[in-house]
Amino acid sequence: MKRRLRRFLLLLTVLIAMSIGLLTCGAHPAASYDQSPQFGDGRFHNPVAKTSLGFVRTVEVLWRFVFDKPADASPQAPIPVQTLTRQAVLDAPDDSLWRLGHSTMLLKLDGHFWLTDPVFSERASPMSFMGPKRFHAPPLSIDELPPITGVIISHDHYDHLDHAAVMALAPKVQHFVTALGVGDRLIGWGVPAGKVTQLDWWQETRVEGLKIVATPAQHFSGRGLSDGNRTLWASWVIDTGQTRVFFSGDTGYFDGFTRIGERYGPFDLTMIETGAYDADWPDVHMQPEQSLQAHLDVRGKVLMPIHNGTFDLALHPWTEPFERITALAAMRGAALTAPQMGERLDIRKPAPSAHWWREGRLMED
C-alpha cells in the first residue's frame, strides 16, 4: 500500500509540475519548421496518425501504473555492470561499442567517440528527487569520458534527453546532431549554436568522415503538457563507409523500416528499442515481435535490443523484453547480442548474449 501511495503522489506531482511549465528545462522551441513535410498546424506529425487513447482510457492506464504495477518491474539485487575506465575506452580498438544504459551508447568509430541519447542522471524525470530511478549507475561517468566528437539525440523525452548531462557534456563535445527542433532546445539551454546540427527525416550530415542520416520513426515528443510534438523524433543511420549501424530511437512499428533498409541497409548492427511497451500504446513503442521484424526490415545482421534494463517505464517485468526477444530471435534464426552494461562489444563481430539479466531479482523501493 505504501508503494502505491508513493506512486500516486509521484504521478500527481509530475503532472502538476509539467502542467504549470516550471520544470520543462527551457522554453519551447520557437523556430518555424514550415519547410518540413512532417510539420503542420504548429506540430510535427507521424506518417500515420497516432491513435488517441481518450480521457477515460488514459485515466485507466494511469490507474494501472499506480495500482497494478507488477512487483518484478524492477530488479531486487544490483544488476551486473562492468565498470569502465577512461583508459580502457581509449585503448579499445575501432568499431567498439559500450552500452551505458537504456538508449545511451558510447561508440568508437575511426578513432572518434560518439554518444547516443546520453542520459546520466539518476532519474528520467523533470525532477531530481522523483521519477523513474536508474537500476544501475552509468558504467562510466561524464568526467571519465574520453573527448567526444559527437552526440546523436533521437528526441526530447526525459529518458533520452537529459538536461544535466547535456550541460555537463557541452564543453567536451564538438558536435550535437539532433532531430529537427531538438537542436533549438539545446541552443535555448545554452549549447553554442555552432555545435548543433539538426536534421529532418532523410537529411544527412558528415562529421569527421562519419555519415549520419536522420530517418523516420513513429513516435511523439515533448517535455511538458503544452509542448507536445513541437520537436521531431527520428531514427538514425550511422555509417563510417566500412561499418554501418542503425539506431532506432523510440518508435512504433511502421512500413518506414523497409524503406530505410532499401536505402541504407544492410547494417552490421541494429540497436532497436525492445522495452517499455504495452498493448495500450502500440503506435509509439514496439512489442518484441515487432522489434525483431524491424531489424529484419532494415536488413540488419545482428540485433541488439535497447530501451530496457535501466528504468521502470512500463508494466511488464523488467527481464521480459530480454527473454521475449531472445526466444523470438532463436525461433527466426536471427543473430542477437545483449551485452552487459559497460561490456565492450565488437560491432563487426558481436559476441552472443550471456543472459546476464537472469541474475537479477525483485527489488523493493
3-state secondary structure the chain: CHHHHHHHHHHHHHHHHHHCCCCCCCCCCCCCCCCCCCEECCEECCCCCCCCCHHHHHHHHHHHHHHCCCHHHCECCCCCECCCCHHHHHHCCCCEEEEEECCEEEEEECCEEEEECCCCCCECCCCCCCCCECCCCCCCCCCCCCCEEEEEECCCCCCCCCHHHHHHHHHHEEEEEEECCHHHHHHHHCCCHHHEEEECCCCEEEECCEEEEEECCCCCCCCCCCCCCCCCCCEEEEECCCCEEEECCCCCCCCHHHHHHHHHCCEEEEEEECCCCCCCCCCCCCCHHHHHHHHHHCCEEEEEEECCCCCCCCCCCCCHHHHHHHHHHHHHCCEECCCCECCEEECCCCCCCCCHHHHCCECCC
Q: What are the CA-CA distances from residue 20 to residues 17, 43, 131, 174 (Å)? A: 6, 20, 17, 34
Q: How far is CA 223 from the centre of its chain?
A: 15
* pLDDT classification of 280: cutoffs 50, 70, 90: confident
Residue-level pLDDT at 71:
83
Residue-level pLDDT at 282:
87
DSSP bridge pairs for 115: 106, 151
Global pTM value: 0.92
Distance separating alpha carbons of residues 327 and 311, to the nearest angstrom? 22
* pLDDT classification of 136: cutoffs 50, 70, 90: very high
Distance separating alpha carbons of residues 300 and 255, to the nearest angstrom? 16
Q: How far is CA 234 from the centre of its chain?
A: 11
**Is 23 in contact with 127 (CB distance < 8 Å)?**
yes
Mean pLDDT over the full length of the chain: 90
> Is 90 exceeded by the pLDDT of residue 61?
no
pLDDT-above-90 percentage for the chain: 76
Residue-level pLDDT at 169:
98
Residue-level pLDDT at 128:
78
Burial per residue of 230-247, b for 16 or more beta-carbon CB atoms within 10 angstroms, e otherwise: bbbbbbbbbbbeebbbbb
Q: 98 or 77: whose pLDDT is higher?
A: 98
At residue 240, what is the residue type?
A: T
Distance separating alpha carbons of residues 257 and 126, to the nearest angstrom? 31
Residue-level pLDDT at 15:
53
**Tens digits of per-residue pLDDT, 316-334?**
999 999 999 999 999 999 9
Dihedrals φ, ψ of 194, to 5°? -65, -15
Q: What is the mean pLDDT of residues 175-199?
A: 97
Burial per residue of 79-98, b for 16 or more beta-carbon CB atoms within 10 angstroms, e otherwise: bebbebeeeebeebebbbbb
Distance separating alpha carbons of residues 108 and 81, to the nearest angstrom? 20
Q: 196 or 66: whose pLDDT is higher?
A: 196
